[in-house]
A and B are shown apart, each in its own frame.
Chain A
Amino acid sequence: MMQKMMVLIQGDFVAPRFDLATEVLMVQFDKGNVIGEPKMIIMERSSDEALCQMAVEENITDIICGGIEEVHYNFLVWKKVAVLDAVIGNWRKAVEKGVAGTLSQGEILHSNKDESLTL
């Protein structure tokens, strides 16, 4: 089944806070392969509620983010979204691992090394 991932980013990194993120990357993928071109959305202002709504409207199946409040985390999980939160590091690497299905919650991604440290 095709999946759609939403990644909250800030510069080169996964945005440390869900509620303050304004850059959103959306990637469609299937069995470890990216389908089509990823889409980047810049929000006018940060809003955790707007991000939740966007996730629902866009039929997102997976989210990669940094810190997220419990109420928003619970809401997204309720909407059957797989939330990989507390991810720290380069967003490209996070997307790569997310698409491959090897990224875990709380993972710290080192930009200069291939290895990663899972808490």
Chain B
Amino acid sequence: MEKATTDRICVQVFAKISASISHEIKNTLSIINENAGLLDDFAHMAEEGVGVAVERVHAVTKTIAKQVDRSNIIMKNLNRFAHSADNYVAHGNLEETLALVVALTDRQAAMKNITTTLHCPPDIAFSTYLITFESLVYLTVLALFQASTEGSTLAIEVEDETPKITICFTVQSGAAHPFANYPDDDQKALAEQIAASCRIEENQLFLSFPCAVS
């Protein structure tokens, strides 16, 4: 598969993630904006001699602080993902990388009320085309969300089978064939670049790839 093709897919994934994150940031800003406005309302009420309970003010400032934290985490995730493209082939910690991708899909999971769990041994290091790998996992998770019914669960488990690693995606869903359209052309192209192969068994998808790409 041509590098230009995988680069194009990675750019599309990056665009998708940026769109989703800008939406989330708009949400946090809206909450901060409204709560700042509410503090202003309280100030006016106090000026007019209407008593405002201190707990109400504390609750508002707490909400603002919480949303600032939330924004910070969202931006940190985007920043980390953006830096995945710094080096063509990069060494990484698999658990951290998968946790990042899962966090980047949080909003889509929430929209369908899907619970995602991740179990990965903490010490697995790998070396691969990092942004390609992340894009593949991201597209895989989104495809599984799309094929799952509302309220499903997606369990992601990792097996270290040095010299290869296998990620198992298990879908507990009302959908009859959650993997019916997997992999599509984009997922195939990305998998090919990182020498990954996939296998499907009932409600499980196994994605295997070498610990280090040659």
Please tell me whether chains A and B touch each other in their complex, using a CB distance cut-off of 8 A: no
